[in-house]
Structure 1
Amino acid sequence: MTSFPVHYSGPTLGEVGEHRAIEEIIAAAPSSRNGDDAAVLSHASPNSRGVATTDMLIQGRHFSLDWSRPEEIGMKAIVQNFADIEAMGARPIAALLAVSAPADTPLVIIRDIASGIASRVRDYSAELVGGDLTSGDELVLSVTAIGSLGGSHPALSLDRARFNQHVVAHGRLGWSAAGLALLKRYGRQEVPRQFAPLVDAHCAPYLNPGRGVVARATGATCMTDNSDGLVVDLSTIARRSAVGIDLFAAAIAPDPLLCGAAELLGADPWEWILAGGEDHTLLATTFGDPPSGFRAIGQVIRGQSVTIDGQAPRYGHGWVSF
């Protein structure tokens, strides 16, 4: 059974009931398309296709209220889903939220999760357009993201990397894993202040909106986001596209902040970079120059494995659900 930190007070879901809780969610994340049995979305623009994805977050497995504020959990739920939309080269336009929670869940937690969702969907000019709320033994969030893929170019699928393309990236590498390691060691309040950006990267990740669309428009052919670990996610591209990927060590080397955190914890920052995941960095392949906001980190080569400067990576593991 889920337990909640004592500082979350006030009425619980069991005390106020489902309808009042839904009213709180709608008030925190309003939408003109929300409130009926189903949301009615606008027609996609001509020559465009719909894109959909879903992902879950479970308390104690994907987040902890011991160090993540409810607003941050909502932000994280949106970013990890909208990153998947962006990774197809599409634009997120809407999200649906399903929540399972114990009856003793403080209402303020649900309202603040919705507020965090609202803040992130606004970054994309998208909306939370509906969902579901039910009683359960654990606090579980499930977000369904909906996007629009414009134009006639193919989606940026995992099987379209080609020999001699550049491998490019948008976003940080290793920051989320470093933040989690700091939280596990110190808790939220005791993490040294200079490492707050690493903690934020784990608790409330941010992805610049529209980078996936830009990459597709400028010639990228394949893309994924760094959710399970850099080597794991690029290995999926290598396997699906029947190519090899060689990363440039200098291009992905740990920055001073990661090195400082690693020294404090007695850790190897390369493990965070290669195996950490949850940065939701966009990873793409293209024949052209890196798209705006991206940087070159490697090359597509012959073979079907991931290497670093021609050598096997020091770490090859990553996140697995089972």
Structure 2
Amino acid sequence: MSDDRPIPVIIDCDTGVDDALALLFAVRHPGLDLRAVTCVAGNTDVDGVVRNTLTVLEIAGAGNVPVARGAERPLLEPARSARHVHGDDGMGDIPGLPAPTGTPVEADAVTLLRREILASPRPVTLIPTAPLTNIALLLRTHPEVAGNIERIVFMGGAVATGNATAVAEFNVWHDPEAAAILLTAGVPITMYGLDVFQRVVVPGTDVRRLRASAEPGARLAGELLAHRPSAPDPDGDDPHGGLGDAGAVCAVADPAGLTTELLPVEVSLAAGPTRGQTVVDRRPRPGESELHGDTRERQLVDVALDVDVDRYVKLYLGAVEGV
């Protein structure tokens, strides 16, 4: 018998243009129950992430969702922002964005994560769309939460090409140790990496329609999409923009739109050009390393290898526009 109840989800983010798109979708999709949002340094500093998150939730009509401030830097390294992509404020420097009226909860991110996971009557799906510092601290400090986590669907990593380096994706590269801890979580994990992340692009006609909307949340989605690096001329003939992190939330609402394969994954922690790489083992059989004594256990991860682009674009627009 199918369960039609909304899926309880918690988003851990570094809002962030595409994190904002993810929040708008999570609030408005009827199949998702957004229980909380936790914030971590990444695209911008953590206080900017908190501000941006509160603003997006209020514009979306979800100012009652609890928001908590989390880690202001990775476990071992200094914070390194992506303002060159997301603008000085992390939100694309969109003119006229209101300051939030609400404030974060007094609890820190790890405390709020633990509280909401353990209080949920049904197992929670965690959706990290940011460096995994908060999630690593949660799993190490409160391992008991694993018993009430249905799945962790994280935006991060890459099978093929990176963006922070030739082989490393930004979220994992920003805090590789945290990502490595995630891969010892002992719960089902889906990796929504760059291989699918970069493919889900909203056409310019839809972006223009969103930007002209009288509804504040839909209009914000349009402005965010128009800012994306795939749209260097947002007022041109085709201001298309990628869903980015929002695709990971689409994958929770509609997992059938994603093609995954259960594969061993590990994170490169060594200094040098491979640091932060997600090493995905797609070999059909063991190789010389294993035959000569490599007995390391690597967690199996559902790695996203393909995505139904049209399906997720329609899913996103339908939810955000309320049609």
TM-score by length of 1: 0.26
Q: In terms of Rg, which structure is larger?
A: 1
Between 1 and 2, higher relative CO (CA 8 Å, sep ≥ 6) is seen in 1
